[in-house]
Structure 1
Amino acid sequence: MRKKPIEYIVKPNLGSAQCCLLSPLWLACCAAALPAASLAAPVSYEEVITVAAPTDTPLTTITNPKAPRQPIPASDGADLLKTIPGFAQIRNGGSNGDPVLRGMFGSRLNILTNGGALYGGCGSRMDAPTSYISPSNFNLLSVLKGPQTVLWGPMAPAGTILFEHQKPSFNQPSLQGEAHLLFGSHGRIDQNVDATLGSQEGYLRINGGKSRASDYRDGNSDPVPGYWNKWNAEATLGWTPDNDSLAELTLGGSDGEARYAGRGMDGSQFLRSSSTLRLEKRNIGKYLDSLTWLAYYNHADHIMDNYQLRQPLNGMKMSGHVDRETLGTRLTSNWQWQAGQLAAGFDIQNSTHRKNSAVDGWLKDAQYQQSGLFAEWRTESGSQGNVVAGARVDKIQANDFRRDHQTRSDLLKGGFSRYEYRAADLPLMSYVALGYTERFPDYWELFSGRSGNPDLNTLRNEKTTQLDIGTQYRTTELEVWLSAYVGQVDDYILFDYRTPTSQARNIKARTVGGELGGAYHLNEHWKSEASLAYNRGYNMTESEPLPQMPPLDARLSLSYHNADWSSALLWRLVSAQHRVAVGQGNVVGQDLSASPGFGVLSWNADYTFSKHIRLSAGIDNLLNKQYSEHLNMAGNKNFSFAGTSRIAEPGRTLWGSLHVTF
């Protein structure tokens, strides 16, 4: 009997997918046409997600980005990730914040879309990679915490995040899809559509959408700059000559603009173009089970200025134009023996950064080249245990074209081992894992003006050793899960802003924390849920706290469900953060001061008219609480904010959405 190749993780039932829509008129047409259309399988809607929990192990969270959730549906990838316990976001008002997992930021997180890497171009990460991600484009989000996989590029100490779309399945020629229309306070309007026409021989999937919002008002009714306007579109052509073969080509693009309360300039262009080619062959032979080859191209073209979306201070106009082109390929083979399964292969990536000036035009300033070999093995250990282990080696070279063509090249090593145990007489799963990874300094740490380093060899590679443990107990009535970690980071890269010229330097650090959650079905209709995330960091070199660590974050939910409708209350409680290192942080943010705690209550409800039409509504920040997140950009004087003030979050926000499947 064949076992599952370890490249392919457990996939959830995606029947609860949210719908997308481009116009109210089209929605009416779709609804009217439903009885006569060739329909997909009936959709079984789930309740609005308020507390995201792991679906496979406490180490892995798998969810559907389109599933309805609270707060108001996400505007970008970072907005979506912050709904998962363990994640936070460096906020700057409105959209395009930067995700943080377990207090780790930037390239300590490995973020891939459809298997490919996309990087922004701004030297201070105004266009973080997640700002180019529209959650409505994907129907599968997988988060693997810690350095516990080698399959998806250089190992990331914080974790690996995969945004993917699943291959559709057709028994006969048909059209299937979903549509979504959302209206909310502060001028929020989302319109999305996702439609697939296919048969057993292949398919054509087209999806796209628009999202916009105006400046918002905080809990004191004061205006906060947060306007954004975005669009995205993608087309995928797939050919399935048989059940074991796939050839798939995806072409996509997006653009937008965003105003920032916490920056000296705004983003007036976030132009993205992407293409991916995937070839798969399964059930090849007795030992070689499958081969997957992926090639991708991602290009980010970003313009920032201080005059298109705001009035420049003292009439002095400033602008910048940068781009980053990333090409990569990956070949993965999956092997099966009686003793276990092996996934092995190689990946290559080339990423080039350029700046455009009125005098010199486009000039290449930085280039990264990476090539790696990896192998990951899974085998049974007795009747109830599994052992998973992996190793990889990467050669990374950075070229600096600004400073006499400096070059730096390093060989990086990484690996992990994990033991998973499932009790025979209890619905209990536990694991213990140890991982080690070396991280090459990224573009923002080597080339950004904020790093203040004139030489490519100033910063040493980060070296992280992390122990992860976890357990999960699951019955029909009760689910409890725990995920915890402790890590030692040698040569941790820290940004210091306490001198007139900011400087990135290496220190020795230690991190500890974890996530705890559970759900209990009180009866047939009522369910309670809770989650808790805690992170703590130490700067061991200077005997002080590690900066930019999110405070203790708890979420409590009580929900009611019956056949046609559901409703839930979500109470988010965040403690004060007194462990700070003022003036230290990362390329985006720094600790400004200690921050007070807060509690925010939200409510949502939804009603299912039929198996194809569903209406949802909610009120975020129901009590109109005035509060700010600890991880935050300093206010900008262009908008009369003090340079040490945090950006306030939106006050009471009402929203409603309509979902249709066809």
Structure 2
Amino acid sequence: MKKYIIALFMGFSALLQAQNTVLGTVTDGTNQPIIGASVYIPELHKGTTTDADGKYAFKNLPNGSFRIAFSYVGFKTINQWIEKLTKNTVVNIQMENAILEIDEVIVSTPFNKMQSQNVMKVEHESIESLQQKGTSTLIEGLATIPGVSQISTGTSIGKPVIRGLSGNRVLVYSQGVRIENQQFGAEHGLGLNDAGVESVEVIKGPASLLYGSDAMGGVLYFNPEKFANAHTFKANFNQKYFSNTLGSNASVGLKTSTDNWKFLARGTHNTHSDYKTGQGDRVTNSRYNETDFKTGIGYNNSKFSTVVRYNFNKLDLGIPEEGLAEQTYSKDPESPRQEVYNHLLSLNNVIYFGNSKLDVDLGYISNNRMEYEEGNEASLDMLLNTYNYNAKYHLPKTGRFETVLGIQGMHQTNKNRGEEYLIPDATTNDFGVFGTVNYEWGTSVLQAGLRFDNRNLNSLAHEAGEEEHHDEETEEEHEHDHEHHGGDFDALNRSFNSVNVSLGYKTNISKELVLRMNVASGFRAPNLAELTSNGVHHGTNRYEIGNANLKTEQNLQTDINLEYGNTHFEFFVNGFYNHINNYIYTSPTGEIMDDTDVFEYVQDNAKLYGGEVGLHLHPHPLDWLHYETSFETVTGKKSRSVGSDFLPLIPANNWNNTIRTEFKIKNWFEEGFASLNVNTTFNQDKVSGFETSSNGYTLVNLGFGGKVKWGKTEFNVNLNGNNLFDKKYIAHFSRLKTDGIPNIGRNIVLGMNFNL
């Protein structure tokens, strides 16, 4: 694959000679210049701002067609399509006032349109807006998005759940690369830090057409921090303090750009003590430390654009097993604990052929997960290396048709280096080919796609050594359970194929009312743990037995989205029905092995349905006031069942309300905000046979912040009080629920960001 890419690059780069310029003026509705408007070309990673006369300019651009995004606070974002650049292309923009939400360019979908033009409903949130909510981790912030929740282990580990689907059914992308980090485990976090991340896009529903296996439940697509504008140098320091965990999060970043070269780097350190519950007790060994480093370098000229990014993340965390035992402020995890090292290297190239282009993403992820039961020698040591490639060819636009053809693939190896084996050594190879077409007329859009995928999984046999048997085990007991003794694995060679389709339609029923309807199929090949597990999975406190005969999960989901918006009022309603054939889940057998309950992987057809509804009110003439409310619900059942045979790990209904004010205090405090959030989670009684129901709870959160100006010094400040009334509660998705350990109590978060 690499040889073909290099050949294409070398062969065509000699033909691509251009010295193109785009310039113009950005004005408001009265033709007055807008100063400081952001002008950005996403695929070239180039940005600038308008000067005192509202003027902007980009130089040395390649031949081809581009989308340029114009945005400014208080105005509607404009995503301007520029076709066939010339040496002096003039694009003047008149922006229209917009009090409510800013429209965003969506990167995770193939045609990179703004959300208002997009066939799929994609949730877009900036990391800055999530951080203003005072959450201590990235996944906590994501869980505030309607339709998204988390499976948590204290404050250190969070697994995303999208409309009741989690684990390997939710795909995570960062730096344009698919993240692979043994995500089958409930106690395996994302391995991502929010520092150096610009925004996140959430696709709720099957996205297998675009991303292949494991995207049947949805996609979290993280957009990295943008490079600096040309001829600028920026540095910033961010510091956050957390009262509950006596925690600190410090981040330092710098970036600079010329017309052609771009560079950035950011280092972050995160440290927390054991978290304190609403009763005032600290949960022993819930402490953790995280180190994160991100860097990137980009180059573009009149021939091509290329960006290389690297992310290193180290997480050292304790696994709470003793509950509310030793009360300490220590930040050094004790055994049992995990050490996780994650390296992510990505390369993005865009090659232009006049009216078409080739977009190629290459990625390498190395994930080393070690677990220490006692001492300094890892009992579990798994090394997962993954190579990804993703090439999309954008055909020349023909009338109202836009077409993208693509191939994707993955080569992955899993290697065990410790005494314990959760899963065997194995090699996985993926290959997929797809095509999608977008047809747009007026305010209506029709989009369709087709895809074929193949996955081949080859694992090695392994027999547990005598040292892994319990010393007290008698020969008779050993004979009884030898068939399923932990660490014994048979060799496996399986191949899985799937064909998937999607069809979407979007139209403006009126100027204010938008309708979206989507039908899409998705699939997920069973993962290595589901096929081969044979041993105690300490993270879930179960003896898990895999099933080598599992079939591919295949789903069909129907989505409908209705949005209404005018100057002072927005309303949305999303509904979905998801049918899954061969849904894989764990079921208790009633046996006990190694003093642990035995669970085996089984399959059944399943159905999930529900949706989200919400509104945003900005009443006139109270321009400083916003009220937002949303409600979300999901029900999951085995489709062959009658009555209350529910699926496991389905989120409880949630109702979220926020009142937010915006203000300015003279000339020293700008962009000020204050918010009151009341978040109600209802009882969850619709549980599977081995789950227990959970009581509902209501949390109250306060937020305050803005930009402080002190002479020539400027800095942003955020002050948040989460779970303000120190409520004692246990979330349904908390892995500490079975031990009766409550979630985190009151947490005061102070954050400051200095632009140096």
Summarize the Cα distance change of 1:48–1:435 in structure 2 as closer, same or farther, 3 Å threshold: closer
After superposition, what is the alpha-carbon deviation per residue over 1:555-582, rounded to whole angstroms, capped at 9, x for unaligned? 1011111133221100000110111113
Give the counterpart of 2:724 among 610, 617, 622. Answer: 622
Alignment of 1:9-48 (within 5 A): none
- Give the CA deviation at 1:13: 5.6
Q: Secondary structure at the match of 2:209?
A: coil
1:281 aligns with 2:348: no
The corresponding residue for 1:293 is 360
Q: Distance in 2 between matches of 1:460 and 1:12?
A: 48
1:318 Cα deviation from its structure 2 partner: 7.6
Paired position in structure 1 for 2:407: 346
After TM superposition, list the pairs within 5 Å mapping 1:37-76 onto structure 2. 56=116, 59-69=121-131, 71-76=133-138
Larger Rg: 2
Is 1:518 paired with 2:615? Answer: yes
In the alignment, what sits opposite 1:444?
529
Give the aligned partner of residue 433 of structure 2.
373
Counterpart residue type for residue 576 of structure 2: Y
Deviation at 1:524, TM superposition (A): 1.1
What is the aligned counterpart of 1:647 among 741, 745, 750? 741
> What amino acid does structure 2 have at the position aligned with 1:515?
E
**Equivalent pair of 1:124/1:448 in contact (CA under 8 Å):** no
Q: Deviations over 1:314-372 (max 9, x none)?
A: xxx98311111111111111122113111111011011111113599x99612211010
Q: Please give the alpha-carbon distance, in whole angstroms, between the structure 1 residues aligned to 2:278 and 2:365.
A: 39
- 1:127 and 2:177 are equivalent in the alignment: no
* In structure 2, C-alpha distance between the alignment counterparts of 1:606 and 1:619, rounded to whole Å: 12
Mapped pair 1:92 → 2:167:
no
The residue aligned with 1:659 is 753
Q: 1:150 aligns with which of 198, 205, 209?
A: 209
Structure 1 pair 15–322 and aligned structure 2 pair: CA distance change class (3 A): farther
User: What 5-or-longer segments of structure 2 have no aligned partner?
Assistant: 1-40, 44-64, 75-98, 107-113, 324-334, 462-488, 538-542, 592-597, 665-669
What is the aligned partner in structure 1 of residue 222 from structure 2? 163
Residues 401-441 of structure 1 show CA distances to partners (whole Å, capped at 9, x for unaligned) of 12553210121111210000113x43121111101122101
Residues 9/442 of structure 1: CA separation in 2 closer, same or farther (3 Å cut) = farther
Q: Say which SS state the counterpart of residue 529 (structure 2) adopts.
A: helix
- Give the one of 176, 181, 185 matched to 1:115: 176
3-state SS of the aligned residue for 1:412?
strand
Post-superposition CA distance 1:222-270 (Å, at most 9, x none): 221321100110211111123x731111122121211233699644311
Asked if structure 2 preserves the Cα contact closer than 8 Å seen for 1:122 and 1:322, the reply is no
Q: Would you say the 8 A contact 1:431–1:471 is kept in 2?
A: yes
AA aligned to 2:706 is Y
State the one-letter code of the partner of 1:578. Answer: D
Aligned to 2:570: 479
Q: Given residue 624 of structure 1, which amino acid in structure 2 is its aligned partner?
A: D
For residues 99 and 9 of structure 1, the distance between their equivalents in structure 2, rounded to whole angstroms, comes to: 31
Aligned residue among 684, 702, 705 for 1:577: 684
Per the alignment, residue 383 of structure 2 pairs with: 323
Contact 2:208 2:521 in 1 (8 A): no
Q: Which has the higher contact order (CA 8 A, sep 6+)?
A: 1
Residues 612, 430 of structure 1: CA spacing in aligned structure 2 closer, same or farther, 3 A cutoff? farther
Alpha-carbon distance in structure 1 between the residues aligned to 2:511 and 2:101: 29
Q: 1: CA distance between counterparts of 2:574 and 2:177?
A: 28
Residues 43-102 of structure 1, C-alpha deviation per residue, up to 9 Å, x if partnerless?
A: xxx9999xxx996468211122233535423424x2232121111111221211211110
Does 2:658 correspond to 1:554?
no
Aligned to 1:407: 493
Equivalent-residue separation in structure 1 for 2:149 and 2:361 (angstroms):
31
d(CA) in 1 for partners of 2:134, 2:600: 38
2:276 alignment counterpart? 217
CA deviations 1:2-23 (Å, max 9, x no partner) are x999x9999796989xxxxxxx
Q: How many residues align?
A: 592
The 5-angstrom pairing of residues 188-227 of structure 1 reads 188-225=247-284, 226-227=286-287
Read off the aligned partner of 1:619 and give its amino acid letter. Answer: G
Q: What SS class does the counterpart of residue 530 from structure 2 fall into?
A: helix
2:17 matched residue in structure 1: none
**Structure 1 residue matching 2:140: 3-state secondary structure:** helix
- Report the residue type matching 2:451 in the other structure: R
- Structure 1: runs of 5+ lacking an equivalent: 17-45, 310-316, 584-590, 636-643
* Residues 1:228 and 2:288 aligned together: yes
Query: 2:699 matched to 1:600?
Result: yes
For 1:241 and 1:15, locate their aligned partners in 2 and report how far apart those are by CA, in whole Å: 31
Q: Which amino acid aligns with 1:285?
A: G
Hey, what's the Cα distance between the residues in 2 that align with 1:619 and 1:167? 30
Question: Does the Cα contact within 8 Å between 2:314 and 2:339 map onto a contact in 1?
Answer: yes
Matched, 1:302 2:369: yes
> Percent identity of the aligned residues?
18
User: What's the counterpart of residue 174 of structure 1?
Assistant: 232
